[in-house]
Homo-oligomer: A and B are copies of this chain.
Amino acid sequence: MSDFIASKEDDYSKWYLDIVQKAKLADYSPVKGCMVIMPYGYSIWSKIQSILDKKFKETGHENAYFPMLIPYSFLEREKDHIDGFSPEFAIIKDAGGESLAEPLVLRPTSETIIWNMYSKWIKSYRDLPLKINQWANVVRWEKRTRPFLRTTEFLWQEGHTAHATEEEALEETLLILDVYKRFIEDYLAIPVFCGKKSEKEKFAGAVSTYSIEALMQDKKALQAATSHYLGLNFAKAFDVKFQDKDGKMRHVFASSWGVSTRLIGALIMVHSDEKGLVLPPRIAPIEIIVIPIFKKEDEINKKILDYSDCVVDALKKAEFRVEIDKDVRSSPGFRFSSAEFKGIPIRLEVGINDVLLNSVTISRRDKDRKFKYQISLDSLISKVKVELDLMQKDLFQRALNFRILNTKEIFRSSKDSYETFKAYVNDYSGFVLSCWCGSLNCENIIKNETKATIRCIPDDFKARDLTGMTCIYCSSKAKYFVLFAKSY
């Protein structure tokens, strides 16, 4: 069965699409660029939602829901915003059998409609901070789409906060960046770089954008989350002022931030292999699959099934997410493959031998299929827990090792030049840490010549000394350490 999944080496893009299909994560819809998120894919999204939603609430945010339809004129109010998004608008001019007086746009993001409401809701310093999140669908008309990574309609959450001071709004922007980082590292087991975007790469309408960048197995980077400090841009566009403690009227500072179903694309591309999806236990909708290994004799099979059901019950009672595949029509190998397609972290086989020995045979999705061992039923719960924890750590460590191996430092020196940089990016891809003077011109030339963009000014290297460092392209004085990569 697994020969239906393309080899990563031969055709990475097909490998990705094969996994989406084989794991039943999503399907193509008849609407160009729109996908159907299938039940198994949606159950991963639900887990992402429930974990993040809890974290948002713990940090003082509330959910609300704003209209999907935004008057065109609202989007025009912030110049950078409309310039950035208008090529991707889907526009409604006709509804209810009539032409609309003003066209409506399907939200590509909700800053404008939300800040319009904030102008009604925020009057005094007592109304601040206002920290609202929304789980919603958005539409951006993309030319080239791929399931989860880039689709015309996608699901996401978007936080929109309002603050009395710049300091507080910036603090919020970075707080959420940290919430994202911890979620992506601790749950999705994806090691990430955090940092500020360049002016060129920032969100249309932001003062500054911070992003989270992960490395995929094809050594391309993927922006997994963004958090924007919006300054007064939207408060001014929508005239949102509050009366401060001193009685003076002041504009309101803003942040916005979001993650989307794109995270599922990252999950697939960081951990999966040629047998299918590999899911970190903490995000897996099903942690454990129990597979009874049937014999020819019905009587024996009844014993195996009864025993398997007991195993399932014990695991359920211990609050594991467990399922059993007791399809007698399918061979064990077929059922192993099904579980592998889906990336279920732990497989427990139950054969007649296990029934006799009061044991089960455990194996892990991230290990070779032959790597398995028997555990006694007495230690079932503890062993399963240990293996799940271990797998979570191992996946993170493996991804981190891969990233370390594929993060190269290239600085101008007696032996390295822009040519070295270009050749490396061309031959090896991955992250390249280098130095940049801060000019748009250098950034553009590098992008045009190498296809690599500045992913971020990484926090991890902030402490490093820039003295004497020069821009990898123009050799003038460097302003930043930056991470370059080709990206999704």
* Chain A residues near B (Cβ < 8 Å): 27, 29-31, 34-39, 41-43, 45-46, 62-71, 74, 86-97, 104, 106, 113, 116-117, 120-121, 132, 136-137, 139, 141-143, 152-153, 155
Give complex CA distance A36, B153 in Å: 21
Would you mind naming 22 contact pairs between A and B with Cβ atoms under 8 Å apart? A27-B120, A31-B71, A34-B67, A36-B117, A37-B66, A39-B63, A42-B62, A42-B63, A42-B64, A43-B62, A68-B153, A69-B152, A89-B95, A90-B95, A90-B96, A90-B104, A91-B95, A92-B92, A92-B106, A93-B93, A93-B94, A136-B137
B90 x A91 contact (CB < 8 A): no
- Which one of A27, A90, A120 has the greatest number of beta carbons of chain B within 10 Å? A90
Residues on B with C-beta less than 8 A from A45 are 65
Residues on B with C-beta less than 8 A from A86 are 97
Residues on B with C-beta less than 8 A from A121 are 27
Q: How far is the CB of A127 from chain B (nearest CB, A)?
A: 12
| 8 Å CB contact of A96 from B42, B68, B87 | B87
Residues on B with C-beta less than 8 A from A152 are 69
| 8 Å CB contact of A39 from B31, B41, B62, B153 | B62
Give complex CA distance A31, B74 in Å: 11
Residues on B with C-beta less than 8 A from A117 are 27, 29, 36
Task: List 9 other contacts, CB 8 Å, given A31-B67, A87-B97, A96-B143.
Answer: A31-B104, A34-B67, A34-B69, A36-B65, A69-B153, A89-B96, A91-B93, A91-B95, A137-B137
Given A63-B43, A117-B36, answer yes or no on A96-B88 (Cβ-Cβ < 8 Å): yes
Q: How far is the CB of A75 from chain B (nearest CB, A)?
A: 12
**Which residue of B has the minimal Cβ distance to A327?**
B126
The main secondary structure of chain A at its interface with chain B is mixed
A90 x B88 contact (CB < 8 A): no
Give complex CA distance A152, B104 in Å: 13
Give complex CA distance A135, B139 in Å: 17
Given A96-B90, A106-B92, answer yes or no on A29-B66 (Cβ-Cβ < 8 Å): yes
B65 x A42 contact (CB < 8 A): yes
Give complex CA distance A417, B29 in Å: 56
A67 x B29 contact (CB < 8 A): yes
Residues on B with C-beta less than 8 A from A35 are 67
Give complex CA distance A454, B448 in Å: 68
A90 x B92 contact (CB < 8 A): yes
Give complex CA distance A132, B38 in Å: 9
- Which one of A92, A113, A137 has the greatest number of beta carbons of chain B within 10 Å? A92
B37 x A65 contact (CB < 8 A): yes
Q: How far is the CB of A112 from chain B (nearest CB, A)?
A: 10
B89 x A91 contact (CB < 8 A): no
Residues on B with C-beta less than 8 A from A141 are 95-97
A153 x B92 contact (CB < 8 A): no
Give complex CA distance A64, B44 in Å: 11
Q: How far is the CB of A356 from chain B (nearest CB, A)?
A: 33
B95 x A94 contact (CB < 8 A): no
Give complex CA distance A143, B98 in Å: 11
Give complex CA distance A86, B66 in Å: 25
Residues on B with C-beta less than 8 A from A104 are 31, 90
Residues on B with C-beta less than 8 A from A94 are 90-91, 93
B37 x A68 contact (CB < 8 A): no
Residues on B with C-beta less than 8 A from A89 are 95-97
